[in-house]
Amino acid sequence: MRGMRITGRRAQELLEMLEEVREECFRGRDRAQKYPYTEWERRRSIVKERLRSLPGYVRRAVDAINREERSRGRPPKLDLERRVNLFLLTRLLGRSNRGMEEAMELFRPLLGIDVSYKYVERLYSDRSVRLALHNLFMLLVKDEGATGSLSGDGTGYSVRVEDLYRLEPRKKGRRYLYFFSLIDLGTGMYVGCGHSRRSEMDAFNRAAAMLQGMGLHVDSIRLDRYYSSRRVIERFGRRVSVFVIPKRSMARVGMAWLNVLKRMVESPVNFLSEYFLRNISESGFSSDKRRFGRVILQRRYDRQGFALFTNALLHNLYALRIGPH
């Protein structure tokens, strides 16, 4: 590949070759494997331990913010640690704000908390709660130990229940949110996420910026064909192995594609095997929507985005990765 001139024609030939390998080696092959239920049950104790450790994680996440909060203004009705725990409980139970107000009547003897539905809603805009949950997200990822082998994909959420059940929901504007996440294949945890009303690419850019802010090492990443652009590849640099299939309409090939095409030529089967690990991202979205819902109930855009971020955080509490990666 070093002495090979990269042209659009050569790229098209490589794509045709890759499609032939895909047809021969991947389609029609029974790739279904017996799920390791015994291993899953054994490792499920990790999730239980993570949930038991959640109060300690919350305490670590709010510690520095608490010191700042105590030094200014009138004391809040609930301190930051209790506000964060209340917010997480609301999201874990999947209750609406009014539903949570009613649930608090049941939990009042246990928790000693008496709040209105408006108080619960305001937690979505509470700056200190946002900072604490961002700290909690980072603590979970770094304590688990990210492997640097990533996959990324996007999905969408309706913000009105009636739109969810339409045959052709309007996937843009105020009724729909794009969401993109980067998942670590070794741990199953999200290491970056972003949302947008404008486009899936805008959500991707926000997720990539969050990943960069986390300061995590990245070795490889797998992306859908939608993200097969020079700008996306250059964003991760030459040291990161990018597994993405170029669009068939690509007219001009630049040097940014050199390493990608080189991996295609050296071993098409290995390239496609890595590329198809993107399925783990789709599995993550599927489990998230089953567990936390497919509709975002908040009306304000900033609160809708924070609800999606919280889903990603809760995903990391339940994350388990079993099998080869």
For residue range 275-292, list pLDDT tens digits in order.
989 989 998 999 999 988
Q: How many CA atoms lie within 13 A of 140 on its CB side?
A: 32
Q: Which residues contact 154 (CB under 8 A, 6 or more apart)?
A: 178, 179, 180, 181, 200, 203, 204, 224, 226
6 and 72 belong to one structural domain: no
DSSP state of 277: G
158 and 110 belong to one structural domain: no
Query: Whole-prediction pTM value?
Result: 0.84
137 and 172 belong to one structural domain: no
Stretch 40-59: mean pLDDT: 86
Say whether 113 sits in a helix, a strand or coil. coil
- Of the pLDDT bands very low, low, confident and very high (cuts 50, 70, 90), residue 250 is low
- Of the pLDDT bands very low, low, confident and very high (cuts 50, 70, 90), residue 178 is very high
217 and 103 belong to one structural domain: no
Question: Residue 49 sits in which domain range?
Answer: 35-144
Q: How many domains does the chain have?
A: 2
Stretch 222-248: mean pLDDT: 87
280 and 187 belong to one structural domain: yes
Q: 10 Å Cβ neighbour count for 233?
A: 23
124 and 53 belong to one structural domain: yes
282 and 321 belong to one structural domain: yes
Query: Tens of pLDDT along 78-116?
Result: 889 989 988 998 888 877 777 777 777 776 666 667 778
Query: Tens of pLDDT along 21-43?
Result: 777 776 655 455 555 556 666 77
296 and 165 belong to one structural domain: yes
4 and 77 belong to one structural domain: no
Higher pLDDT, 110 or 304: 304
Q: Which residues contact 183 (CB under 8 A, 6 or more apart)?
A: 150, 151, 152, 189, 190, 191, 280, 281, 284
15 and 153 belong to one structural domain: yes
174 and 323 belong to one structural domain: yes
Of 114, 144, 174, the residue at which a domain comes to its end is: 144
Of 87, 122, 144, the residue at which a domain comes to its end is: 144
175 and 235 belong to one structural domain: yes
Of 107, 123, 144, the residue at which a domain comes to its end is: 144
